[in-house]
Amino acid sequence: MHSGCDIWYTVASMSPSGVEDEYAQKWQKNDSISLQEKKIEIRRREQARATEMFGLAPDRLTLLGIEENKELDSPDNLARMRHHVESMAPDIVIMPMGKDPNQTHAWVYQVFRECAKDLTLKKEKPVIALYNEDPKTMEMRNDLFVLFGEESADWKRELLRAHHSQQQRNIHSRGMGFDERILRMNHLSYRSLKEMLPPADGSAKYAEVFEIELFGFSPRRAKS
C-alpha cells in the first residue's frame, strides 16, 4: 500500500530476445540449462530485483508468461491476459503506449483495451488507463505530464539499472545505458512542456507523459 494505493506489478512477458547471447553465455557459467532458459531466468531476477527496490513485496509481482516465440494471439496467451485483467479488476492501469514497433507492447495494448471494455460491462466498474511514453512511441496524445526533479531521477536510474542485461544491451547497441535513454526522453518531454507553458514546479527537469483512456465512464460521470 503506497499513499493509499494498492499497487500490483505485472510483467506480461520475460522478453528473452532482449538479452544478448554473449551476456547470457557469461551468466553464472551454468551449462545445465539452455541459452533461452538462461535469458528467461536473467529477466526474471531483474524484474524481481526492480520490484523489491521499488518497495513492493514479492507477492505483488505477477509474471504472466505470455509467450513471444509463437503467435501472440494464441488462445493460451489471450486466456492468460483476459483472466488476469478480470481477476485483478484494477481501478487504474499504467502500461506502455502500444503504438510502437515493439510487437509485445502493441499486442498487450490491444488485448488490454478489449479486456477493459468487457470488464466494465461485467462488473459495472470503470477503469482508467494511463499509457506512458516510450522512446519507440510513434503516436500518442500528451494528456498528462508528471514532473519530477533530480532526486526522483536518481531513484529512477537505479531502478532502470536493476535491469542490467538491458543496460548493457543499450550501451552496446546505442552507446548509452537504458537509464540514460529513458531519462533523456523524460528531459526532452519536460522541455517540450516548458515551451508550451511554464511549469509550476521550479525544481523539475523531467516529465513522464501519459495518454489517458477512460473505460466505463458515462459522459455525466466524466464531466463531474
Q: Please say whether the beta carbons of 175 and 125 come within 8 A.
A: no
Residue 169 pLDDT > 70, yes or no? yes
Task: List, for residues 101-135, the tens digit of each pLDDT value.
Answer: 999 999 999 999 999 999 999 888 899 999 999 99
Residue 202 pLDDT > 90, yes or no? no
* Domain regions of the chain by residue span: 9-223
Mean of the per-residue pLDDT values of the chain: 92
pLDDT confidence of residue 217: 81
Mean pLDDT, to the nearest integer, of 72-95?
A: 95
Long-range contact list for 190-199, CB < 8 A, 24+ apart?
190/145, 190/147, 192/142, 193/145, 193/147, 199/147
- Cβ burial of 112 (10 Å; 0-12, 13-18, 19+) is buried
Q: Which CATH superfamily is domain 9-223 in?
A: LmbE-like (3.40.50.10320)
Spatial strand order in the sheet of 144-148: 92-96, 127-132, 206-215, 144-148
pLDDT confidence of residue 2: 58
Residue 1 pLDDT > 60, yes or no? no
Residue 220 pLDDT > 90, yes or no? no
d(CA 49, CA 58): 9
Task: List, for residues 2-36, the tens digit of each pLDDT value.
Answer: 567 899 999 999 999 999 999 999 887 777 889 99
Task: List, for residues 87-101, the tens digit of each pLDDT value.
Answer: 999 999 999 999 999
Specify the DSSP element, H or E, that contains 119.
helix 103-123
Residue 62 pLDDT > 60, yes or no? yes
Statement: the pTM of the whole predicted model exceeds 0.85? yes
Q: For the chain, what's the residue count?
A: 224
Res. 198 pLDDT band, cuts 50 70 90:
confident
